[in-house]
Each structure stands twice: as structure tokens, then as C-alpha cells.
Structure 1
């Protein structure tokens, strides 16, 4: 498991409106494409610099493909990164603040100590 890779996915997808829409419409294909094309790029560097070892594990891949933000939180994804990306994807389907309230409701069963979100 790589909390770094989960957070990198959430961060990079959230900052690209085309990736946000692609992830909303076809999460499985987006996760597969992102893992192949973006996962090993060094964050903030041009395409020429990359690593070769980062991969999602099965639990991470499943949670991303299913838009399972409570599952992502349990895996250690940063809650602000999940919230901002999922707002971008699903706020339009709810009343004002509706998605934020749904997010809070679906995470309300979590109790302290929360999963470690350090990378």
C-alpha cells in the first residue's frame, strides 16, 4: 500500500478538469491509464524524469474504481484531497452543500484515532 500514490492520484486528477470528468465517467479506465502514465512521474517534474516501482495494490485500485471515499480514507488517503476531488465530481448532483453533508455522513462512523494520513 502506498498512501503517497493514493494522495498523488487524488492531487493530480483534481487539478486537471479533463481528468476529473474522465474519472467521474469511467473510473476504472482512468485509474488504469493514470497508473500507467502518471504514477511513476516524479511530482512537479517534466515527463522525462520518473521512477518505476509505484503501483496501486488491489484494495487501493478497488476503492479508486468504485469512488469509495470512505474506503480511501480507511486506506490513509488525505481527507482534504478526497473531499476536494469528489466535490469537483459530484457536487453538481446535489443541492448546495449536499455533497459535503453526504461526505460527512458517510465518514461519520469513523472515530479517533483516525487512520494515519502521513506519507
Structure 2
């Protein structure tokens, strides 16, 4: 499991409006493309250095494709990263603060100790 890679996906997709829309409309295609093309790039670096060892586990990939913020949190993804990305993708489908409240309700069943989200 790579908390780093999950957070990197959420962070980089959230910062690109075109990727936000792509992930909203085609999660499986976006996850596969991002893992193949972007996972190995250094974060916030324009140099063409790459690594080849980073990959999602099947469980991580599945949670990303399903856009399941609860499963992502349970896998160690930072909740602020999922919240900001998912607000960008889904808030428009709901009234004021409805999505944020639903996000919180979906996580109510979780109890301490939470997954480690230290940065």
C-alpha cells in the first residue's frame, strides 16, 4: 500500500480542472492513465526524472475507480485531499453544503484509531 501514491493522485488531479472533469466522467480510464503516465513523475517537478516502482495496489485502484472516499480514508489517504477533490467533482450536483454533510455522514461509522494521516 502506498499512502504517498494515493495522496499524490488526489493532489495532482485536484489541481488540474481538466483532470477533475476527466476523473468525474471516466474514473477507470483516468486512474489507469494517471498510473501509467504520471505516477512515476516527481511531484511538482518539471524535470523529466521518473521512477518505475510506484503502482497502486488492486484495492487502492478499485477505491479510486469507485471514487469511494471512505475506502480511500481507510487505506490511509488524507481526508482533506479526498474532500477537496470530491467537492470539486460533486458539489455542483447538490445544494449548499449538502455534499460536505453527506461526506461526513458516510464516515460517521469510523472510530479511533483512525489510519495514520501524518504528513
* TM band (smaller chain): over 0.9
Unaligned runs of 5+ in 2: none
Whole-angstrom distance in 2 between the partners of 1:32 and 1:8: 14
- Aligned partner of 1:2 in structure 2 is 2
Q: Any unmatched runs of 5+ in structure 1? A: none
Counterpart residue number, 1:33: 33
Task: Return the alpha-carbon distance in structure 2 between the equivalents of residues 50 and 98 of structure 1.
Answer: 40
Task: Give a deviation string over 1:56-114, Cα, whole Å, max 9, x none.
Answer: 00000000000010000000000000000000000001110000000000001111111
Q: What are the within-5 Å matches in structure 2 for residues 32-111 of structure 1?
A: 32-111=32-111
- Distance (Å, rounded) in 2 between the aligned partners of 1:40 and 1:6: 13
SS in 1 for 2:87: helix
Q: Distance in 1 between matches of 2:89 and 2:47?
A: 26
Q: Measure, in 1, the Cα distance between the counterparts of 2:66 and 2:81.
A: 16
Q: TM-score, normalised by structure 1?
A: 0.97
TM-score of the superposed pair, with normalisation by structure 2: 0.97
Match of residue 23 from structure 2: 23
Deviation at 1:47, TM superposition (A): 4.9
1:118 to partner: Cα distance: 3.1
